[in-house]
Structure 1
Amino acid sequence: MISLSEVTKGYGSEVRIGPVDVEIPSGGITALVGPNGAGKSTILTMIGRLLDLDTGTITVAGHDVVNTPSKAIAKNLSILRQENHFVTRLTVRQLVGFGRFPYSRGRLNEEDERHISEAIDFLNLTDLEQRYLDQLSGGQRQRAYVAMVLAQNTDYVLLDEPLNNLDMQHSVQMMRQLRRAADELGRTVVIVLHDINFAAHYSDRILAMKDGGVVEHGTAEEIMRDEVLSRIFDTDVEVIDGPRGPLAVYY
């Protein structure tokens, strides 16, 4: 379980996150949704210990992310941020190998190579593993970064807008693979998404943020209601019955 208690973060005098008090259960996919500037990426980055919190505590599987040694956290939690820019020319396999650094410290052994191969296979990158990142399409490159995170072999996986710059086809493929990671590999996936319909279709739970705070937290069925979505996004939303579940229509 991921637990946030009285968590706050301030940026100057005008922007403030929190206080946030919420628990994200283990297992499945939890989607963080909300309007731009709501605090979704900030919360995710603080959980991943890439951004200091001003006050409060965050624990992941009982480990305080502030006080637990980095090596221990890295074997329990992995995070992929929006900014993925490797300057060095790397192949897909070399990139995915970085996910094993908390274990290998740069000296890959047989077990590390096995985890790398499994992650590459899982994301359907086997035919591309010797290709350089700058030779890949945006969708292929994004899958390679997610494979790197999965190779870290952590129970908790945090992903900040992994659908950015992906077209509809590749977004669907990515979400299906993340769904498989939760169901088949037993990972707890926490993901920042902009598309509420993707969140509703592929997630087990939705955590909605607005103005730096958590305003709704529940199952997709609980969140996908006209009045709830209209309040979160400050626009008229109608939820209709789609062929595979509820769909939000914006006016």
Structure 2
Amino acid sequence: MIKIDNAKKVYNNEVGIGPLNITIPKAGLTSLIGPNGAGKSTTLLMIGRLLDMDEGQIQVANMDIAKSKSEDLAKILTILRQENHFVTRLTIRQLVGFGRFPYSKGRLTNEDEAIISKYIDFLGLSDLENRYLDELSGGQRQRAYVAMVLCQETEYVLLDEPLNNLDVARSVQMMEHLRNVADEFGRTILTVMHDINFAAKYSDRICAMKDGKIATFGTVEEVMNGEILTDIFETKIEIIDGPYGRVAIY
């Protein structure tokens, strides 16, 4: 599980995140939602140790992330940021191969190559695996980045806006892939989501944030409440029960 105790990040006297207190159960897909500036990405980056906390403690699988060795943490936790700066003259296969570095240290084995192929195929990139990143569309690159973090085969996967640069059809495919990763491989996925309805359809749990605090956390049924979401997003939101679950209407 992911356990956050009184975690805070202070930027100045007026801007800060926390204190955050939440326990996210092991396995399944949990989405962080909320308006811009709510603290979703900051929270994810602190969990992934890409941003230092000013106070508090975060544990992932009972490991204190502030005290754990990077090489140990990299075998249980992986994170994909919104901004990724890789050399564009890498092929998809080379990029995805970086996910094996905590194990291979750059010397890929036959087992590593098989795992790389598995996730390239899983994300529907087999026909493109020898293409360079600068030859791809934004959506194709995004799928390649997700394949890379999945290739690391960690129990915990953190994704910051994984639907960036994807159209509706590709967004559906991506969420179905992530849902399958959670269900078939037993991974614990924590993702920052911009679209409430995608979060509702594919998540097991939703954590809604507002003004740097956790506003509510629970099952989809508990959080997909018109009054709750209207207060969080400060705009009128109604919830209807559609054929595929609850849907937010703005």
Shorter-chain TM-score above 0.5 = yes
* Partner amino acid, structure 1, of 2:160: D
Distance 2:122 2:87 in 1: 26
Deviation at 1:85, TM superposition (A): 2.4
Shift of 1:87: 2.7
CA deviation after TM superposition for structure 1 residue 242, in Å: 1.1
Equivalent in the alignment of 1:227: 227
Q: How do residues 1-251 of structure 1 correspond to structure 2 at under 5 angstroms?
A: 1-250=1-250
- How many residues are aligned here? 250
Q: Secondary structure at the match of 1:98?
A: helix
Q: Distance in 1 between matches of 2:142 and 2:88?
A: 17
CA distances 1:198-224 after superposition (whole Å, capped 9, x unpaired): 000000000000000101000000011
Matched residue SS, 1:163:
coil
Q: Distance in 2 between matches of 1:71 and 1:115?
A: 19
Distance between the aligned counterparts of 1:171 and 1:84, measured in 2? Answer: 19
For 2:19 and 2:107, how far apart are their aligned partners in 1? 42
Alpha-carbon distance in structure 2 between the residues aligned to 1:150 and 1:31: 17
In 2: Cα distance, 1:200 partner to 1:131 partner: 34
Q: CA deviation at 1:165?
A: 2.0
How big is the shift at 1:134?
Answer: 1.4
Q: How high is the sequence identity, in percent, across the aligned residues?
A: 66
The letter for the 1-side match of 2:77 is L
TM-score (normalised: structure 1):
0.98
For the 8 Å contact 2:142–2:165, the answer to whether it is kept is no
Question: After the TM superposition, which of the residue ranges 128-137 and 38-47 deviates more from structure 2?
Answer: 128-137
Does the 8 Å CA contact 2:88/2:133 hold for their aligned counterparts?
no
The alpha carbon displacement at 1:88 in A equals 4.2
Structure 2 counterpart SS, 1:124: coil
Q: Tell me, yes or no, if the aligned pair for 2:41 and 2:192 is still in contact at 8 Å.
A: yes
Gaps of 5+ in 1: none
Which range moved further: 103-112 or 211-220? 103-112
Q: Which moved more, 1:146-155 or 1:167-176?
A: 167-176
- Deviation sequence 1:124-160 (CA, Å, 0-9, x none): 1111111111111221111110000011010000000
Distance 1:87 1:101 in 2: 16
Q: What stretches of structure 2 of length at least 5 have no aligned partner?
A: none
CA distance in 1 between counterparts of 2:186 and 2:112 reads 19
Which stretch of the first structure deviates more once superposed, 133-142 or 175-184? Answer: 133-142
* The 10-residue stretch of structure 1 (87-96 or 24-33) with the greater mean CA deviation from structure 2: 87-96
Q: Give the match's secondary structure for 2:84.
A: coil
